Amino acid sequence: MASDFDSIPQTSMAALSIPILPSQAVKKCHIVVPDLAKPVGAIAYEGKFYSYFRCYEDLTSARRTAARLLARGDLFLLTQVRRGLILWVFEPDAKLAGS
């Protein structure tokens, strides 16, 4: 049985070699997303907001989830932290919480 990762076209596979940003390259914040009741943990990077999705201990697991997100058309970032990698999902309609 083929996994979701195996069904990603080769052109999309190249996009999975996304850079892993150091945590110092992003600004931590909380955002309000229209379809969520409470503010969520997020990062700001290059003027865009990304909500926390999940922490992974290894790159293989993070890439597997990234492949699924990419197949759905979602944009994301990875940051390096002491525990491993954090995957963040782009939130185009987000607003900074408290503003």
* Tens of pLDDT, residues 47-79: 999 999 999 999 999 999 999 998 999 999 999
Predicted model pTM: 0.80
- CA–CA separation, 21 and 39 (whole Å): 23
In a domain, 50, yes or no: yes
In a domain, 19, yes or no: no
Q: How many domains does the chain have?
A: 1
In a domain, 3, yes or no: no
In a domain, 56, yes or no: yes
* Tens of pLDDT, residues 18-47: 779 999 999 999 999 999 999 999 999 999
Task: Measure Cα distances from 40 to 31, 49, 89, 96 in Å.
Answer: 5, 11, 12, 10
Residues contacting residue 20 through CB under 8 Å, at least 6 positions apart? 59, 78, 79, 80, 85
- CA–CA separation, 93 and 21 (whole Å): 23
Which residues face 52 on adjacent strands? 88
In a domain, 70, yes or no: yes
